[in-house]
Amino acid sequence: MGKFLIFCLNLILSCLYCRGQNPVDCGSKAVRDSLMMVYSDKAGKYGFNDDHWGETLDSLIAICPNIPEAYQEKALPYLYNGDYATAFALIDKAVEIDQKGWRAYRGYLNCIFTRNYERAMVDLRDAQLLEPRAHTMDHTYYFYYGLCYLETGQYELAEQEFLKDIVEQRRGDGRNDIHFNSLFYLGVTYFELKALDLAEKYFKDCLQLYEQFPEGNYYMGTVLRILGNPGAESYFAKAREFYNEGYRMTEPNLTYVTFPRQLSLIEIDEIQK
């Protein structure tokens, strides 16, 4: 039924445009969603590095210029190829159309892609005012606040935000699994604060959820080495083994960007020398 409706929509659009008319009701969410589905599917047949990707989305924008997802998808080639100025001009347009839907996403991009932590915080706080308990890109807003503070050396503030992130994930009956990266970054924060017992605890909790996590094993080994624990070397060996087996930090867009404290094999090997 869905494919039939899309076929009918394409047929109607083709016929009416042949007559030089523009009958599309861009004020209707159902129409916008249907159009986005059709044109996103068309663009996807080419891949985002093909010129037809942008041209297809330009055609959609010409029909209905108030579809924020069209600007976001058009931004992807520029974002993934490092042309952040062009990418953010398009993302800004999406935010202008739908603050509630895209402000947090822009905050995520500022945090992870451009490392503009000040702008990231502004976007995320404004997004939280619009939708207090929403998430973006698999995490609470507190998680990204924590990353911003961690990467700017404000470790006490990072600790507060990562703890809020964990509380938010446990909301409800309190039995939800915590995202292992929340535990990992809280462990990193305590490592930077030289609270090694707490760092060890959270790295251990992280590895209970994701045993093959290279960075988790690496940091656990680092903490144990500082504490004089002979078990440290086994964690370094695990970090290298699991990295070579293809295990990685699991976050969206890791093909195109490096997350804070993400390690290369060279860095893992270096500490074992």
User: What value does the mean pLDDT take over residues 88-113?
Assistant: 98
In the chain, count H helices and then E strands: 14, 2
Same domain, 217 and 155: no
Please choose, from the candidates 235, 170, 234, 179, the residue with its C-alpha nearest in 3D space to the C-alpha of residue 202: 179
Q: What is the pLDDT of residues 206-236, one digit of tens each?
A: 999 999 999 999 999 999 999 999 999 999 9
pTM: 0.89
pLDDT range class, residue 175, cuts 50, 70, 90: low
> Do the Cβ atoms of 243 and 265 come closer than 8 Å?
yes
Averaged pLDDT for residues 171-179: 76
Residue 112 burial (10 A CB sphere; 0-12, 13-18, 19+): buried
* Contact (CB, 8 A) for 236 and 207: no
pLDDT (tens digit per residue) in 193-207:
999 999 999 999 999
- The predicted model gives 11-36 an average pLDDT of 72
Q: Is residue 71 part of a domain?
A: yes
Domain of residue 103: give its range: 99-176
How many domains does the chain fold into? 3
- Candidates 205, 207, 224, 226; CA nearest to 215 is 207
Q: Taking 70 as the threshold, does the pLDDT of residue 15 lie above it?
A: no
Are 37 and 52 members of one domain? yes
Is position 19 within any domain?
no
CATH code assigned at 46? 1.25.40
